[in-house]
Amino acid sequence: MYKFKILIFNVKKSFVPICICLFTIFLLIFSNANLSSAKTGLALWANLVVPSLLPFFIATELLGYTNIISILGKFLNRLMKPLFNVPGEGAFPFIMGIISGYPMGAKIVSNFKEQGICTNVEAERLLAFTNNSGPLFIIGTVGIGLFKDTNTGFLLFITHILACLTVGFIFRFWKSSKRYETKSGSPLSSHTTVSISNLGEVLANSIMSAINTIFLIGGFIVLFSVIISILENSGILDGLAHLIYPILNVFNIPVSFADGIFTGLLELTNGVCSIANIANKSISTNIIICAFLLGFGGISIMLQILSITSKAKISIKPYIIGKLLQGLFAVIYTYIFIYTIPVFNLNL
């Protein structure tokens, strides 16, 4: 029995190193396919992510050197505090997270924690609902680009926002005991305010910070493009897909969606692309599954968030719970909209 416990401990301890070794081996075995996938991921990052996100990252960094956050805090505290149990400044990451998409909300929340604008618990509450897919991706890429329908894009965006607001309200009770509410520092105590004299320094710092974040995102996109390629070529993805066949049958969902669902759980863009392209008589099934994937975000984005929040020592646990809940609420809201509002009933 004692030896068995030691064996379990060793397996847990060696799990990550074993996965890394297998990943390296598979890189060599499927080198041609992996090279193509890496190029595709790099092209996706360079052509879509950098142009759409980098300007927002720079603008957000610059706004952090102004008094806009304090102004929002004063005006919106009466709204944010009773609804979400966070300071009024929390409206800033929520708004910017909606406008620009992943992982802007997490980036701003981490800055808030480090600057002492919110407590650690408030940062966890904010993290659970301020990190979302943006309208450019949901309406443009998914709705118009993949489903070829603007109404689908607006439907997914509306239910996405409703779901994140629902999660935010639920998380107002997260660690609500007073013993958790301890300020992490003096709000904005060491923060520089932009002026003519330091504009050059502030601009340089903002650009460097934004570039570091955008390169981090690019690395994750390329990495998970290769991981998905390995899983597909090794047959592992098909094996995992068979595990959820019984669940799909319960909800009367064709098993052809299984591969796309697992792909989406790993990496969002590849997943929604796969789901949208599956031929199906009831297009609402494709849309509802995409709603869940958009709310959940995928493991790739979770790791991006972890790399950002770990520096600020914010727990990733509430974020994971929040995204699971957001995916489920997005499914519920999307189903209700499709079957109760005629304009969104897109079934053939």
Output the DSSP codes for 152-178.
Answer: HHHHHHHHHHHHHHHHHHHGGGTT-SG
Burial class from Cβ neighbours inside 10 Å (0-12, 13-18, 19+) for residue 78 reads: exposed
Tell me if 330 sits within 8 A of 148, measured CB to CB: no
Rounded CA separation 34/18 (Å): 20
Q: What angle do CA 334, 149, 54 make, to 5 degrees?
A: 85
Angstrom CA distances, 308 to 115, 269, 284, 316, stand at: 15, 20, 35, 10
Structure tokens at 281: 């008589």
Q: Is the pLDDT of residue 202 over 90?
A: no
Q: Is the pLDDT of residue 181 over 70?
A: no
Q: What is the mean pLDDT of the chain?
A: 82
Rounded CA separation 149/242 (Å): 31
> Would you place residue 140 in the very low, low, confident or very high pLDDT band (cuts 50, 70, 90)?
confident
> Would you place residue 186 in the very low, low, confident or very high pLDDT band (cuts 50, 70, 90)?
very low
CA 132 to chain centre: 6
> Would you place residue 12 in the very low, low, confident or very high pLDDT band (cuts 50, 70, 90)?
low
Between 17 and 346, residue with greater pLDDT? 17
Between 185 and 4, residue with greater pLDDT? 4
Number of H helices, E strands in the chain: 17, 0
Rounded CA separation 198/195 (Å): 6
> Would you place residue 194 in the very low, low, confident or very high pLDDT band (cuts 50, 70, 90)?
low
Q: What is the pLDDT of residue 322?
A: 93
Rounded CA separation 61/205 (Å): 8
Say which residue the tokens 């996938």 belong to.
37
> Would you place residue 13 in the very low, low, confident or very high pLDDT band (cuts 50, 70, 90)?
low
Instruction: Count the neighbouring beta carbons within 10 Å of the beta carbon of residue 84.
Output: 25
Instruction: Count the neighbouring beta carbons within 10 Å of the beta carbon of residue 22.
Output: 12
> Would you place residue 188 in the very low, low, confident or very high pLDDT band (cuts 50, 70, 90)?
very low
> Would you place residue 26 in the very low, low, confident or very high pLDDT band (cuts 50, 70, 90)?
confident
Angstrom CA distances, 196 to 129, 188, 202, 203, 218, stand at: 36, 20, 10, 11, 33
Q: Is the pLDDT of residue 168 over 90?
A: yes
Rounded CA separation 44/48 (Å): 6
Crossing angle of helices 31-44 and 199-234, rounded to 10°: 150
| Mean pLDDT calculated for residue range 200-215 | 85
Between 63 and 264, residue with greater pLDDT? 264
Q: What is the pLDDT of residue 6?
A: 55
Q: Whose CA is closest to 301, among 324, 267, 278, 276?
A: 267
> Would you place residue 162 in the very low, low, confident or very high pLDDT band (cuts 50, 70, 90)?
very high
Tell me if 84 sits within 8 A of 120, measured CB to CB: no
Q: Whose CA is closest to 166, among 303, 332, 286?
A: 332
Residue 103: cis peptide before it, omega within 30 degrees of 0: yes
Ranges 118-122, 204-208, 278-282: which has the least confidence: 278-282
